[in-house]
Chain A
């Protein structure tokens, strides 16, 4: 019984791991192929099945005029938009979450819970619902096809996540710590930056990671709201998915885009094992 249970467990883990890794392995293998080895049918192991070359990887640095895909600029655009959007969302979201966790708000029938729900409910909004009005609004302010326009949209996308995680985090920090700081002579703003903030770093890191994940992986808004001037990484890569797809550079580009966030998986796991994440996620 015990042996059966254990072997079933390992079987499940191995099967799922294979499923998880398969597309990555395929992408790695494909990134070293050329037109010849792709169109010959599926091949897997370099030197055995096909003759590897670095064309796919070299294409990433070549301009489109030279037949390359140039993902360097989109990569840094993505970094900039994700980082700025996350930073603004975390700052505003953390402040708002602190207010919602610690103070009482009353306005007509509106209570703290309703305000929190308003923030978080923005995640229910399908991107397509917002895309057309955003398109028209950004057009009015000449922000279409700019990084600033995208950052504004990303704030709507990411602030709900920051508020959601931080409200739960602050609710778990004893309010008596804030009260003690007040009694010790801090006004509410000093309480926040001298006492609350230094003790909220785990929560802020978790919120930051989630903002980064959801910002970095967003496709739709940059797809609709940018054209030629500004291109983010996902749009640049999906653009390769046209009629004659260069699978090799596509795979190489995909791996480059995925790599930075895989590091985040390690950080998330560290927090998970230390028990800091459960507090921030419930």
Chain B
């Protein structure tokens, strides 16, 4: 179909989005070429100085990026494995099936920062229930103030919050699968494990790839949780890219430099997602 009415449908949304975004993006590019900060708040032009600084003299940015990669890849992997497992379980007959489906969805409906506030009290090192229980075993881990353990705590919270999203996408996928391949597998006498390896998993590959990419994109933005749970600490132990850009821009007010950080980060993200998507397709869609 091709009628000139098509523009009436597309343009309102497209123009609104462009109108809202064009200034921010253009301005960020311009800002990244200036030295705007709280001492000198003006749009001067310093060329690519900010970018030089970022690539030669900012180990903290790259450390934050490495930490983000570790955090997001690990948590998304865990979310995928757990989410797939749970989806498989409640996909088939199980007591209280619908109750568990609802229950497993609930965390994604909750506001991450607000739940993180609760988690902070939950992992509180002297007054929280976790250490209260562990104290019976004479353990008192420093969930929020140890460099290694605080990363682990962030991961627990992320897995709790977002496994449901993975669960939802995968369960919706499972429910939409055709019945015939499973019938064929059961006629061939395949057990649950063989059925999963040769039927379920390959059929779910496209949905899995989509779900993993969506979650990686969302996970790469992680910062609310970190801000509330540890404020990036102790030291910089849980500082992610977004949080670092936030500190440079909106805590230290180095607007020019943070714009350069933002753009660099954005480009790295786009490139990484493209590569990751390609790798995932190769890994999961064998034979096709």
Interface of A toward B, CB cutoff 8 Å: 5, 9-10, 12-13, 16-17, 19-23, 26-27, 30, 38-39, 41-42, 44, 92-93, 95-96, 98-100, 102-105, 115, 118-119, 122-137, 152-153, 155-156, 159, 163, 175, 178-179, 182, 187-189, 192, 213, 216-217, 219-220, 224, 233-234, 237-238, 240-241, 245, 247, 250-251, 253-254, 257-258, 261-262, 264-266, 268-269, 272-273, 275, 277-279, 281-282
Contact = CB atoms under 8 A, between A and B. Distances in A.
Given A5-B192, A41-B132, A103 B113 contact: no
A72 to B, nearest CB: 16
B13 A95 contact: yes
A219 B106 contact: no
A129 B112 contact: no
B220 interface: yes
B117 A20 contact: no
Contacts of A119: 13-14, 17
Contacts of B283: none
B6 A30 contact: no
Given A115-B10, A178-B1, A12 B16 contact: no
Interface in B73-92: 82, 85-86, 89-90
A156 B28 contact: no
Given A99-B10, A241-B228, A261-B110, 19 more contacts: A22-B122, A96-B13, A96-B14, A102-B1, A115-B14, A133-B31, A137-B27, A153-B20, A155-B20, A192-B9, A213-B108, A217-B111, A219-B224, A220-B223, A254-B117, A275-B176, A278-B176, A279-B176, A281-B173
Contacts of A10: 94
Interface stretch (B47-55, B146-154, B195-203, B257-265): B257-265
Contacts of B112: 217, 219
21 contacts: A12-B85, A20-B107, A20-B160, A26-B122, A41-B132, A92-B17, A96-B13, A102-B1, A104-B2, A126-B262, A128-B223, A128-B242, A129-B28, A132-B28, A133-B31, A159-B13, A175-B1, A188-B6, A217-B109, A277-B175, A281-B173
Interface string B155-169: 000001000000011
A142 to B, nearest CB: 15
Contact of A282 (B13, B14, B28, B207): B207
A124 B176 CA distance: 27
Given A38-B127, A136-B27, A268 B168 contact: yes
A9 to B, nearest CB: 5
The B interface, classified by DSSP as helix, strand, loop or mixed, is: helix
Contact of B86 (A16, A23, A134): A16
A238 B172 contact: no
Contacts, number: 262
Contact of B17 (A20, A122, A175): A122
